[in-house]
């Protein structure tokens, strides 16, 4: 079984280099890496031409970028990974969770935040617990899905934000997610830049507004 790693990027030069170094073992094992650039201006993809990584351009926005990557993917399983992700365990631990995936299955990983403060341990524990209870994951949890299932539901919705929540709701109708406890490390820069409690309140507010039907374009402007 072949895995296609799809990485949407926009001005992620520093983060992407480290991630691709870790993923090199996947290329050596015959898997595939697709970087989808949404118009970066910092040279994110400048050094990838001489590598085995596939690089394509797409309209900015994670939905359109991830759908573009999925369309050209040759793997049986699609693995959507953010550029600021990192691996705490051996890459084999992550692969084993996906290599046995059936054509009606999908899943996600637990998440661990990079910040060292105690509050980040609480936030990540709440995120993982909520995900297990609701069957809804965030993009930081690196959703993986059999390509046949992904295509059968039409991929990601063409929305500017909340695309991860939206697709999980549709995937849940097909099968329950596989919740892998091996964690992925993700950057806590969002919380550190905006303030931990301000970010928590903002995310709760956005989830509530999305739940009551507020247009995702308005939510995107609120987030930005």
Read off the tokens for 99: 């290599």
Q: Which two tokens stand for residue 68?
A: 């573009």
Decide if 53 contacts 22 (C-beta within 8 A).
no
Do residues 16 and 83 touch, judged by C-beta distance below 8 A? yes
CA atoms within 13 A on the CB side of 161: 16
At residue 50, the pLDDT reads 64
Residue-level pLDDT at 157: 95
Tell me if residue 100 falls in helix, strand or coil. Answer: coil
Residue 6: per-residue pLDDT = 98
What is the predicted pLDDT for the residue at 131? 95
pLDDT of residue 48: 85
Q: Which domains does the chain have, with CATH numbers?
A: 3-189 (3.90.550.10)
Is residue 48 a contact partner of residue 35, using CB atoms and an 8 Å limit? yes
Return d(Cα 135, Cα 169) in angstroms, integer.
Answer: 8
What's the whole-model pTM score?
0.93
User: How confident is the prediction along the chain (224 residues), in pLDDT tens digits per residue?
Assistant: 999 999 999 999 888 988 998 999 999 999 999 999 999 999 888 888 768 999 999 999 999 999 999 999 999 999 999 999 999 988 888 998 899 899 999 999 999 999 999 999 999 999 999 999 999 999 999 999 999 999 999 999 999 889 999 999 999 999 999 999 999 999 888 888 888 888 888 888 888 888 888 887 787 787 77
């Amino acid at each position: 079984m072949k895995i296609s790693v799809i990485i949407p990027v926009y001005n992620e030069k520093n983060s992407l280099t480290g991630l691709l170094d870790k993923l090199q073992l996947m290329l050596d094992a015959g898997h595939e890496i697709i970087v989808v650039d949404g118009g970066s201006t910092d040279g994110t993809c400048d050094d990838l031409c001489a590598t085995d990584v596939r690089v394509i351009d797409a309209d900015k926005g994670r939905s359109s970028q991830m759908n573009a990557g999925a369309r050209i993917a040759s793997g049986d399983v699609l693995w959507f990974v953010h550029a600021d992700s990192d691996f705490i365990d051996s890459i084999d631990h992550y692969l084993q969770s996906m290599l046995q995936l059936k054509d009606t299955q999908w899943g996600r990983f637990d998440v661990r935040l990079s910040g060292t403060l105690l509050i980040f341990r609480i936030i990540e524990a709440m995120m993982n617990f909520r995900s297990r209870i609701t069957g809804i994951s965030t993009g930081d949890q690196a959703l993986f899905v059999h390509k046949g299932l992904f295509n059968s539901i039409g991929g990601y919705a063409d929305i500017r934000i909340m695309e991860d929540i939206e697709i999980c709701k549709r995937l849940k109708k097909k099968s329950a997610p596989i919740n892998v406890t091996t964690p992925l490390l993700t950057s806590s820069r969002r919380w550190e830049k905006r303030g931990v409690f301000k970010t928590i309140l903002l995310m709760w507010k956005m989830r509530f507004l999305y739940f009551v039907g507020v247009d995702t374009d308005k939510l995107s402007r609120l987030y930005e």
